[in-house]
């Protein structure tokens, strides 16, 4: 009888967690987060591997909308980075460090800088965020003209059409570009930031949010970004 009572208590204690579904804020950033993949992309794959007892539903919105929702506190979990100065916790999900830099059409000289102001007057494509976000501000303060985009593919297209001079990009996606496209481009020697796949959690959320976990392995990219 005691064993049966213990079994019932375990079932009832786990049931609320299993029934809880978490909306995860995300923007189109394939292959990491994308509505074009049934599972939501690589980031959602490793999230579900890390927390198999949780249910997660991708909630895709434009980048500016994601930024505003987080500023207003209307979120619990997000793959979109929390704005600087906003209280949030981070759960590192991947062993792989993703390098965020800039790309341009290939030139003879290396793509590197001591200060971003060396690119003053150039046009740069960035994923849309708040106009006052620190990430965007570093470019405007350096004298660059920002063209906001909704996806990294849109940024790449603008660069290939010479509508911008630089575009924010990451080494993982760069290494997966078709060879003919990649050969037209340069990935910067410098990087703007380097980060694993990270889930941001809102400490003000009342739901029982996931906690830290062992990082997962991402499918291999094609190797280090070609910066030559």
Same domain, residue pair 128 and 186: yes
The confidence score (pLDDT) of residue 37 equals: 83
In whole angstroms, what is the distance from residue 144 CA to residue 120 CA?
Answer: 5
- Domain contains 23: yes
Same domain, residue pair 70 and 154: no
Same domain, residue pair 106 and 78: no
Task: State how many domains the chain has.
Answer: 2
Using pLDDT thresholds of 50, 70 and 90, give the confidence band for residue 42.
confident
- Domain contains 106: yes
Q: Containing domain of residue 35, as a range?
A: 17-97+194-201
- Please tell me which residue, 206 or 125, carries the higher pLDDT value: 125
- Domain contains 218: no
Same domain, residue pair 121 and 184: yes
- Domain contains 8: no
Q: For position 187, which CATH number holds?
A: 3.40.190.10
The confidence score (pLDDT) of residue 125 equals: 96
Same domain, residue pair 79 and 105: no
Same domain, residue pair 78 and 145: no
- Domain contains 114: yes
Among 74-78, 93-97, 167-171, the range scoring the smallest mean pLDDT is 93-97
What digits encode the pLDDT tens for the residues 140-194? 999 999 999 988 899 999 999 999 999 999 998 899 899 999 999 999 999 998 8
Same domain, residue pair 139 and 60: no
Same domain, residue pair 128 and 174: yes
* Token pair for 35: 């509505």
- pLDDT of residue 5 exceeding 60, the answer is no
- Domain contains 220: no
The confidence score (pLDDT) of residue 185 equals: 98
Among 130-144, 163-177, 206-220, the range scoring the smallest mean pLDDT is 206-220
Among 1-10, 101-110, 168-177, the range scoring the smallest mean pLDDT is 1-10
Same domain, residue pair 125 and 183: yes
- Domain contains 171: yes
Same domain, residue pair 172 and 188: yes
Same domain, residue pair 35 and 92: yes
- Domain contains 5: no
Using pLDDT thresholds of 50, 70 and 90, give the confidence band for residue 116.
very high
The confidence score (pLDDT) of residue 38 equals: 86
Same domain, residue pair 85 and 30: yes
């Amino acid at each position: 009888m005691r064993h049966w009572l213990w079994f019932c208590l375990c079932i009832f204690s786990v049931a609320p967690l299993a029934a809880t579904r978490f909306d995860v804020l995300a923007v189109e950033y394939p292959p990491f987060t994308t509505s074009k993949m049934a599972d939501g992309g690589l980031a959602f794959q490793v999230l579900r591997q890390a927390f198999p007892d949780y249910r997660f539903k991708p909630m895709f919105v434009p980048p500016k909308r994601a930024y505003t929702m987080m500023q207003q506190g209307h979120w619990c979990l997000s793959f979109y980075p929390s704005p600087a100065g906003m209280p949030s916790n981070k759960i590192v999900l991947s062993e792989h460090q993703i390098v965020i830099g800039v790309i341009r059409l290939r030139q003879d000289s290396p793509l590197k800088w001591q200060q971003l102001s060396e690119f003053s007057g150039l046009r740069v494509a960035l994923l849309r965020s708040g106009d006052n976000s620190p990430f965007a501000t570093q470019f405007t303060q350096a004298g660059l003209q920002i063209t906001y985009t909704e996806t990294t593919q849109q940024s790449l297209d603008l660069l290939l059409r010479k509508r911008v001079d630089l575009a924010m990009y990451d080494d993982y996606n760069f290494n997966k570009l078709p060879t003919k496209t990649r050969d037209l481009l340069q990935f910067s020697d410098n990087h703007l930031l380097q980060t694993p796949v990270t889930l941001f959690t809102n400490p003000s959320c009342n739901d029982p949010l996931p906690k830290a976990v062992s990082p997962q392995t991402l499918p291999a990219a094609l190797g280090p970004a070609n910066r030559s």
